[in-house]
Structure 1
Amino acid sequence: MKADPQAQRRLLDLQAIDTALAQLAHRRRTLPEYAEVEALARQVSALEDERVRAQVAVDDIDRDIARLEKDIDQVRVRKDKDQARLTLGTGPARELTALEHEMVSLNRRQTELEDAELELMEQRETAQSVLTAVEERLAAALERRAETEARRDQALAEIAKDAEFKSGAREPLAADLPADLVTLYDKIREASGGLGAALLTGGRCGGCRLELFGSERGRIKAAAPDEVVRCEECRRIMVRTAESGL
């Protein structure tokens, strides 16, 4: 293939743009915020589970306290009735004596229930402290995740803006070069890890970094200026300039 030497040199400008686009794509795929967001998502999930368990513990204690309060209210109602009957003092002496014994039992039962309620209230205070601490940790993790997602989105927006600018510069450049040269360059670039053309500097291929010797060096030196030469080793287009050392 033949192409104007100036067009060949402009391939390096096209390659610079494509290299920048590839770097932007790599940066987009490997943003550290992706891993941070994933780690924070796992942390948030674990804290959500922990919060649910802590809330269940508080709710269970609240139900037990409510049950005890109901039992205490029932004992108080029964005591009030018995006390009212004792205050009236009417009825057989045996029945009044039984009421007195029942009052003693009810007082003892009320004390037991109130002691149990007090113990549960202390347990609830501890459980609530655990729940509050988990909620604070969860809120902090959610805030960190939101901040990290915002940084990720900002980075992606900046990358997209840079990529759009580079792509906008590539299109007119590629359109201004010979179509067959660009087609060959793109084919090589896709097959060679993103590098389709490289500068030949000091007798060394800029693609594979190997130095040319013997007949290969002679072949390149003897090639006409408009001949599109390729490296025998990496098959990339070698762009010749005054720096090529031939």
Structure 2
Amino acid sequence: MRARRGAVASGSAFARKDRLVKADPAVQRRLLDLAEVDAELSRLAHRRRTLPEHAELTAAEAAVREAKDKLVEVETAAGDLDRDIRRLERDVDGVRSRTERDNQLLAGAGIGAKQATELQHELETLARRQAVLEDEQLEIMEQREAVGTDVDHSREVLAAAERELTAVTERRDSALVDIDTSEAGRRRAREEVLATLTADVLAVYERRREQRGVGAAALVSRRCQACRLELDRTAISELKAAPADELVYCEECGVILVRTEGSGL
């Protein structure tokens, strides 16, 4: 404990300089107002960083990307099937045209027996080919119908994901506006407190705050309100002996200790 106290009292590069700074007790109490404002600003900054909407927004953006990827996938599959259907339609039309032509030739006058036989054989082949093509066409049209359902569903999923993204973005933006408003108010309050402090007192406060996260704290019932530790008898005796206008520091955490009627000295 003593080694720690010594480190706080004299180990800092600023400790000796800080101990030369004087401030009226009323000015010292203003440091508590400043510390409270800074604590509120820190809480607001923490809230800004840890807004649940940040995680929700990340998830919503991922959901939109996933939905878009899925929609592209099923639309691509639908496009491929549409091309296959058009190709089969052209093939079927070609077979039908060839069949119609052969039937016209077969029904025409002056056709020989050999040619008639060849045409009949070709018509049978064309009939089988048409049947195969139409079966394939039917199968692909059934696939296209199923994929069409997938496309419609994927579009609905994407639309829902985009609506959720918009809603989360609005909630996030609204929360940030609230934080911005609160921060602006706290910064104005900070400027008002700063106007009551001398440059040397403020410099000590800012150094302590930079080093320890808190610049000043009240001493209440012999307990530092920054580290929540009770000071020992030796520290209390030193605080009692210190002039009221002298800045004093917590032996444990090093913040400026502000003495009040409730300090227990």
Question: Could you tell me which amino acid in structure 2 is paired with residue 78 of structure 1?
Answer: R
Question: Could you state the TM-score of these two structures normalised by the residue count of structure 2?
Answer: 0.87
Q: Structure 1 residues 107 and 80, CA, compared in 2 at 3 Å: closer, same or farther?
A: same
What displacement does 1:192 show? 0.8
Question: Could you tell me which amino acid in structure 2 is paired with residue 142 of structure 1?
Answer: E
Question: Could you tell me which amino acid in structure 2 is paired with residue 226 of structure 1?
Answer: D
Corresponding residue for residue 232 of structure 2: 213
RMSD after superposition: 1.5
Equivalent position SS for 2:185: helix
CA distance in 2, matches of 1:224, 1:217: 13
Corresponding residue for residue 42 of structure 2: 22
1:84-123 alignment, distance < 5 Å: 84-123=104-143
Equivalent position SS for 1:73: helix
Cα deviation code 1:180-205 (max 9, x no counterpart): 11111111111112x11111100111
Asked if the contact 1:198/1:239 (under 8 Å) is kept, the reply is yes
Q: Which runs of 4+ in 1 moved over 6 A?
A: none
What displacement does 1:30 show? 1.2
Percent identical pairs in the alignment equals 47
CA distance in 2, matches of 1:202, 1:89: 125
Asked whether 1:242 is paired with 2:261, we answer yes
CA distance in 1, matches of 2:53, 2:123: 70
Equivalent position SS for 1:119: helix
What displacement does 1:172 show? 2.3
Residue in structure 1 matching 2:242, options 206, 214, 223? 223
What displacement does 1:79 show? 1.3
Equivalent position SS for 2:262: helix
Corresponding residue for residue 30 of structure 2: 10
CA distance in 2, matches of 1:33, 1:89: 84
Of 94-103 and 23-32, deviating more is 94-103
Equivalent position SS for 2:195: helix
Asked whether 1:138 is paired with 2:158, we answer yes
Equivalent position SS for 1:244: coil
Asked if the contact 2:231/2:251 (under 8 Å) is kept, the reply is no
Corresponding residue for residue 220 of structure 2: 201
Asked whether 1:165 is paired with 2:185, we answer yes
Asked whether 1:32 is paired with 2:52, we answer yes
Corresponding residue for residue 45 of structure 1: 65
Asked if the contact 1:89/1:96 (under 8 Å) is kept, the reply is no
Task: Work out the number of aligned pairs and report it.
Answer: 245
Question: Could you tell me which amino acid in structure 2 is paired with residue 211 of structure 1?
Answer: E
CA distance in 1, matches of 2:164, 2:39: 34
1:177-192 alignment, distance < 5 Å: 177-192=197-212
What displacement does 1:97 show? 2.9
Question: Could you tell me which amino acid in structure 2 is paired with residue 245 of structure 1?
Answer: G
Gaps of 5+ in 2: 1-20
